[in-house]
Amino acid sequence: MTKLTLGTHPYLLGFEQLERMLERSAKSGNEGYPPFNIEQTSQNSYRITLAVAGFAEDDLAITVEDRQLVIRGRQSDAVEERLFLHRGIAARQFQRSFVLADGVEVGEAVMENGLLHVDLRRIEPEPVVQRIRINKG
C-alpha span between 94 and 53 (Å, rounded): 13
Q: What integer pLDDT is reported at residue 76 of this predicted model?
A: 75
Q: What angle do CA 13, 98, 123 make, to 5 degrees?
A: 65
Helix (H) / strand (E) element for 126: namely none
What string of pLDDT tens digits covers the 137 residues of the chain? Answer: 566 666 666 777 777 777 776 676 666 555 688 999 999 999 999 999 999 988 999 999 999 998 899 999 998 766 567 788 998 877 789 999 998 988 999 999 999 999 999 999 999 888 889 999 999 97
Identity (one letter) of the amino acid at 111?
M
pLDDT value of position 28? 58
Residue range(s) in the chain whose domain bears CATH number 2.60.40.790:
34-122
Identity of the residue numbered 71:
I
Q: How many other C-beta atoms lie within 10 A of the C-beta of residue 32?
A: 7
Beta strands in the chain (DSSP E): 36-42, 45-51, 60-64, 68-73, 94-99, 104-112, 115-122
What's residue 27's pLDDT? Answer: 63
Return the CATH architecture of domain 34-122: Sandwich (2.60)
Q: What CA–CA distance (Å, rounded) separates 5 from 16? A: 9
Is the link from the previous residue into 34 a cis peptide, with omega within 30 of 0?
A: yes
Check residue 41 and give its pLDDT.
Answer: 96
At residue 67's C-alpha, the angle toward residues 64 and 70, to 5°, is 40
3-state DSSP call for residue 18? helix
